[in-house]
Structure 1
Amino acid sequence: MMDAHMALDVLNEMLNESGFDFDNPNPKLAWDVFKEFSNIKVDVSDDALLFQCGEYDHTGETLFHFELVRQFSFEVDEEYDHMEQLRLTIYYKPNEELKGLDKTVWTYDYNSKDEFFNELEKIDSIRIPLEKYVPFAAETDQEEI
C-alpha cells in the first residue's frame, strides 16, 4: 500500500518510465498511465478520482485544462483532518470546440473505477482533446485543499 505523501513521486516515476514528455505531452499516454496509477492502493480514509476540463485563467492566460485528479481524505483518531488533491494537468490552447467541453465527473457517481473510466472514454470532453488536439505542456502537483 502506498503512502499518500509518496503518490506524486510514484505518478511522476510511472510517467517518466512510460516515456511521457511534460514539454510535448501525449495525452493518450497520460490517460493510460493515470488509469494504471489509480489502481495502486493508498493508505487514506477516502480515495476518489475526478476528471475535469474547461477553460481556466489560473496562470494569467486562459488555457484549456484537461485534469486527472486523485483526491485523498485523511483522518486522525477517526475524525476528518484534511484533503489533498494530486493533479495531472494537460494544457491546450483554447479554441471554440474545446470551450464547449467543460465537464466535471467524480468516481462517486459510479459503482467502480472501471465503470468511471469506461464511461468517461465515451464522452466528448475526453475523446476530443485526446484524439483531435495537440497539447503544449503538462504538469503534476499535489496540495492540500
Structure 2
Amino acid sequence: MDGLQPSPWGSPEVFRTLVRQAGLTVGSLTAASAWSVFGSFSWIEFDVPREADSDGLLYQFGVYDFSGEPRFHFDLTRQFGLRDSDEYLQFHCDVQYLPTPRLEALGSHSEWWFRGDGRRLPEWVDAVNLRPEWPVLESVLPTAVEVYCDET
C-alpha cells in the first residue's frame, strides 16, 4: 500500500487485498484469521482528518438478530472520520456463527481503541489477544463472513 493514503470508502477492498495476501478468502476467515488480517489493516493510514476520534478500532461480539435470526457476531470495526462531514464511516468484518450454548455463555463485549488516546496500538492488541473467548471462538466454524462499510 504505497503512495497516497486510501480513502476510507476503499477500506473493504484494502481489507480484501490483505486477506488475499495472507493466502485466504473472505469466506474462509475465522475469528482468529480475521483478527490477524485486521491487525495488518489497522496499521494502514487512510485519508482521514487528523483528529483524535477520526480513526478508531472496535473489537466486539455478542448474539444479535440483525437479520431476523439470532447469530453470534464477532465484529471487527474500524471507524473513520470523514473530511468535510460530521459523519463517520464504519468498516466491518463481521464473522457470524450459529449461536451455541458455549457462544451464548460468552455474553457480549465491546472495546474501542483510538489513535491519540494514550494507549499504544500494540498494547491494545496484546490485551485483546489475552481475552478468554479465543478458545471458544476457535472451537466453532463460522456460517458467514461479511465485509462492508456503513455511515453513522
TM-score by length of 2: 0.84
Hey, what does 1:68 align to over in structure 2?
Answer: 76
Distance 1:112 1:94, change over 3 A: same
Q: Which of the residues 94, 107, 110 maps onto 1:104?
A: 110
Does residue 134 (structure 1) correspond to residue 141 (structure 2)? The answer is yes
Q: Which runs of 5+ in 1 are unaligned?
A: none
What is the identity, as a one-letter code, of the residue corresponding to 2:71? L
Percent identity among equivalent residues? 29
Deviations 1:18-67 (A, max 9, x none): 23233343332221111001100111121000011000101111000001
Does residue 54 (structure 1) correspond to residue 58 (structure 2)? The answer is no
Aligned length: 141
Deviations 1:97-138 (A, max 9, x none): 211321001014760221111101111234431x22221221
Does residue 119 (structure 1) correspond to residue 127 (structure 2)? The answer is yes
SS at the partner of 1:119? helix
- The aligned runs of 1:35-54 (5 Å cut-off) are 35-45=39-49, 46-54=54-62
Q: Which runs of 5+ in 2 are unaligned?
A: none
What is the identity, as a one-letter code, of the residue corresponding to 1:68? L
Q: Do the aligned residues in 1 keep the contact of 2:82 with 2:88 (CA within 8 Å)?
A: yes
Q: Do the aligned residues in 2 keep the contact of 1:23 with 1:136 (CA within 8 Å)?
A: no
Does residue 30 (structure 1) correspond to residue 45 (structure 2)? The answer is no
Hey, what does 1:90 align to over in structure 2?
Answer: 95
Whole-angstrom distance in 2 between the partners of 1:75 and 1:90: 29
Moved over 4 A (4+): none
